[in-house]
Every structure is written in structure tokens, then in C-alpha cells.
């Protein structure tokens, strides 16, 4: 009997459809206010991965016909200087969204920075008011990566109601908001983490398994229920081989798990592109919300 391989969920293709769907909103905003939605991106220091992410975010924002304004600050920038820049951007009517790339240097308090961003411009959805809105099922701005995962899941699975969902990882950026979103979709939600006992058995119960731990090939095929849908949020670079840069792999052992799952996201080309698509979507949403225009729907 031949093994049926999982469907590969094409995040690249889906993200370009998501981007396309934003065009009419961008056009409408231009028509109404005379300029496209505008995103300010702040990068402090020169973390190599952050530089790549920010470059991608800026490029794609521009490709989508929106304004992207980049603020690249030195690693020595004080918290006070950063807060003052955020204050200026909060008050600037020409700016709809503000994103501060994380992680920040150790001398800057991440929480203070995140919560200094005006909630209506907080396109990452990390500030306390937006977290509160998500946890009370009211629509605010939703963190980009979990939103991207949800859009993929809704498109490939359809109705998620009653499904057993297990999320591995409890970060504020992915794990916790992902749990909240799936709970809002009527899933039965479990969050597994580094202290979870018998994590294999917990994962094996999942109809929907989301891995967001940051450990290469962590999830093995024996952990996965036959027919489960697996979403791999991890982006891990393996050690270099000879003179070649190490390969990018996810948190899921893709080759073995794709013999068990019914659908799986690849790395790269799965969740990654959806994160950026959802950043663009949140920028449009922020621009619409501020002015009571119709905003993109789920
Ligand atoms: N660093 C890693 N992921 C993210 C993200 O989603 N937003 C921001 N601002 N920084 C990040």
C-alpha cells in the first residue's frame, strides 16, 4: 500500500492572493484621503535576521502600493529616544501603522516600547489593548503570524468548530494569540510548552497542530495523528555545511510528518509569507479603522 503524502499548503501562493485582495482597499483609501496607507517600520541595531525581515516588509509594503517609511537606529539608541520617535509617529496623521522590529537591544524595555505605540496604529497587535480585544473576541489589530496561520487553516480546513487544536509554544507573539484565535473559532485548544509532560501524547490528540517553538525538526511523525493539519511556524537555520550557509528548516520534521498529516506548511514558503501579507492587511485595517471605512474581512 502506497503512503499518501500530505498536501503542501502553499503559503506563497496564498499570500499573493491575500495581497491582491487588499488592492481595492488601497485604491479606495487613495481616493478618499489622497494617499495610500502608510507604515512606519523601526529597526534598532543590526541583528542579521531582523535586517532581512525588515527589508522584506518594506519591499512588500511598497509593492502593494502602500507607503513604507523606515527608521533604522543604531544599537546604542536610548529607550528615551525610541519613545520620542514613537510619540512623533503616534501623532503623525500621515502614518497609519507603526511596527518596531523585535528583539530590541537588552537596555531597552520591550514592554514599554510595545505599549507606547498607539493601539490604533499597533499593526503587530502586541499592545495590551489589542491583546485584550482579541481575548474578548472583539476585533482589534491581530498579531500577523497567528492571523496568517488562521487564514491558511480556514482556507484549507474550512469550519474549525469542534476541532482539537494543539499549539506548541506559549509566546506573546505566536502561541498565546494563536490559542485565542482558535478558541474564537470554537476549537478545543491546548497549549503545550517546555514543561508539558508527555508532549508526544498531547500532540497526538490534535486535529490541528501548530508548532511555534524555535527548535529545528522538533515535531516527529510519531507525535502526529493520521490526517492532522500541521502548521509549522518555525524558521531555524541549521549549522553551515562546508562553505554553504545552513539550510532553513521548521519546527516540524517535514519529510516524516508529511507521511502522516493530511496537509502541512513547508519552511520556507508556508507561514513566513503569510506573516508579511497579514502585516500589509493590518496596515490597511488600521488605515480603515481610524476613519471608519469598511475594512478587510476574514
Ligand atoms: N520579530 C519576530 N517576529 C516579529 C513580529 O511578528 N513582529 C515584530 N515587530 N518583530 C518580530
Percent of the chain whose pLDDT exceeds 70: 99
- pLDDT tens-digit series, residues 249-266: 999 999 999 999 999 999
CA dihedral 141, 156, 212, 52 (to 10 degrees): -70
Regarding the beta carbon of 174 and ligand 1, being less than 6 Å apart is answered: no
SS3 87: helix
The answer, yes or no, to whether residue 149 has pLDDT greater than 80, is yes
* Catalytic entry in 57, 163, 176, 225: 57
- pLDDT tens-digit series, residues 273-285: 999 999 999 999 9
Please, which pLDDT band fits residue 154 given cuts at 50, 70 and 90?
very high
The answer, yes or no, to whether residue 173 has pLDDT greater than 90, is yes
What integer is the mean pLDDT of 49-74?
97
Integer-rounded Cα radius of gyration of the chain = 19
Residue 188: which of 153, 161, 148, 209 has the closest Cα?
161
Please, which pLDDT band fits residue 142 given cuts at 50, 70 and 90?
very high
| Strand segments (E) across 1-45 | 7-8, 38-44
Cis peptide before 268 (omega within 30 of 0): yes
Residue 251 Cα to ligand 1 midpoint, Å, equals 17
| CA atoms of 18 and 31, how far apart (whole Å) | 21
Q: What is the pLDDT of residue 3?
A: 72
Q: What is the pLDDT of residue 159?
A: 98
The answer, yes or no, to whether residue 232 has pLDDT greater than 60, is yes
Query: Would residue 124 show up in a list of annotated catalytic residues for this protein?
Result: yes
Q: What is the pLDDT of residue 139?
A: 87
Mean residue pLDDT across the chain: 97
- pLDDT tens-digit series, residues 82-118: 999 999 999 999 999 999 999 999 999 999 999 999 9
* Most informative mutation of 42, 49, 52, 53 for ligand 1 (most atoms within 8 A of CB): 53
The answer, yes or no, to whether residue 1 has pLDDT greater than 60, is no
The answer, yes or no, to whether residue 134 has pLDDT greater than 80, is yes
Please, which pLDDT band fits residue 2 given cuts at 50, 70 and 90?
low
Amino acid at each position: 500500500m502506497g503512503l499518501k503524502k500530505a498536501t503542501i499548503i502553499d503559503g506563497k501562493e496564498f499570500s499573493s492572493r491575500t495581497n491582491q485582495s487588499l488592492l481595492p482597499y488601497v485604491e479606495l483609501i487613495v481616493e478618499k484621503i489622497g494617499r495610500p496607507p502608510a507604515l512606519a517600520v523601526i529597526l534598532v541595531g543590526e541583528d542579521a535576521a531582523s535586517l532581512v525581515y525588515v527589508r522584506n516588509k518594506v519591499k512588500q509594503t511598497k509593492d502593494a502600493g502602500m507607503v513604507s517609511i523606515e527608521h533604522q537606529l543604531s544599537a546604542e539608541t536610548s529607550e528615551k529616544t525610541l519613545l520620542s520617535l514613537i510619540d512623533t509617529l503616534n501623532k503623525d496623521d500621515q502614518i497609519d501603522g507603526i511596527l518596531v522590529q523585535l528583539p530590541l537591544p537588552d537596555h531597552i524595555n520591550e514592554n514599554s516600547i510595545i505599549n507606547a505605540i498607539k493601539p490604533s496604529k499597533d499593526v503587530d497587535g502586541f499592545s495590551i489593548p489589542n491583546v485584550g480585544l482579541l481575548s474578548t473576541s472583539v476585533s482589534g489589530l491581530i498579531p500577523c503570524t497567528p492571523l496568517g496561520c488562521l487564514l491558511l487553516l480556514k482556507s484549507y480546513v474550512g469550519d474549525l468548530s469542534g476541532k482539537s487544536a494543539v499549539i506548541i509554544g506559549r509566546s506573546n507573539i505566536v502561541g498565546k494569540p494563536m490559542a485565542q484565535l482558535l478558541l474564537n473559532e470554537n476549537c478545543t485548544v491546548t497549549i503545550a510548552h517546555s514543561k508539558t509532560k508527555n508532549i508526544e501524547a498531547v500532540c497526538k490528540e490534535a486535529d490541528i497542530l501548530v508548532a511555534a517553538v524555535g527548535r529545528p525538526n522538533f515535531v516527529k511523525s510519531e507525535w502526529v495523528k493520521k490526517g492532522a493539519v500541521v502548521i509549522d511556524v518555525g524558521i531555524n537555520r541549521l549549522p553551515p555545511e562546508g562553505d554553504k550557509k545552513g539550510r532553513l528548516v521548521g519546527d516540524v520534521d517535514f519529510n516524516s510528518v508529511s507521511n502522516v498529516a493530511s496537509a502541512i506548511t513547508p519552511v520556507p514558503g508556508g507561514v513566513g509569507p503569510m506573516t508579511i501579507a497579514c502585516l500589509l492587511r493590518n496596515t490597511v485595517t488600521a488605515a480603515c479603522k481610524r476613519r471608519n471605512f469598511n475594512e478587510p474581512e476574514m
